[in-house]
Amino acid sequence: MGLISFNELPDDARLWVFNADRTLSDTERERLDAALADFVTTWAAHRRDLTAGYEVRYNQFVLVGVDESKLPPSGCSIDSLVAALGRIGGDLGVDFIDSPDVAFRAGDAIRTVERDEFARLAEQEQVDARTTVFDRTVQHLGDLRRGGWELPAGNSWHARAFDLRTPAI
């Protein structure tokens, strides 16, 4: 079946979330959209088209979903997705594959930092349980739709990993 609208995928669709190491310009976003559409249109497992869609959010995150009830992706097809994002990122001068581990909101901006930097920010109380984070570990589209991707750090793995607390008011 190939490329379908991301919104048409079912809640139980498998989801992959990639973040760029920086926000893309509008021109870069257009190039990313074209390259993703080309890839997802022909994305296959065992020479059979996957029913998949993608979405780019905030000019920084690539969300790719596959309807596994039609045909689940194979290890090789998942590898081809990662390779394609590596090539696309290389063409755009951004890194989707080895980007920093933690993405969060700092005011209106989105920051990406390594885990040790986020830990330092937590120790300095520059981030806390109320900080909005992006959880790339979500595995199904329904989790994303129910708010499991962009959420307060206190409601995610970040709270445990970084001992985040809700500040007293």
User: Could you write out the DSSP letters of every residue in 104-153?
Assistant: EEETTEEEEE-HHHHHHHHHTTSS-TTSEEE-TT--BHHHHHTTSSEEEG
Are 80 and 53 within one domain?
A: yes
Are 50 and 110 within one domain?
A: no
Q: What is the pLDDT of residue 168?
A: 61
Looking at 92, 111, 140, which one is the last position of a domain? 92
Are 59 and 133 within one domain?
A: no
The answer as to whether 84 is a domain residue is yes
**pLDDT per 10-residue tile (average), the chain, 169 residues:** 90 96 95 96 91 96 96 93 96 91 93 94 94 96 96 93 76
Are 66 and 136 within one domain?
A: no
Tokens of 168: 């007293």
The answer as to whether 110 is a domain residue is yes
The answer as to whether 30 is a domain residue is yes
- The pTM score is 0.92
The domain total for the chain is 2
Are 74 and 111 within one domain?
A: no
The answer as to whether 167 is a domain residue is no
The answer as to whether 23 is a domain residue is yes
- Contacting residues for 74 by C-beta, under 8 A, at least 6 apart: 45, 46
Q: What is the pLDDT of residue 1?
A: 62
Looking at 92, 124, 150, which one is the last position of a domain? 92
Residue 80, domain extent: 2-92
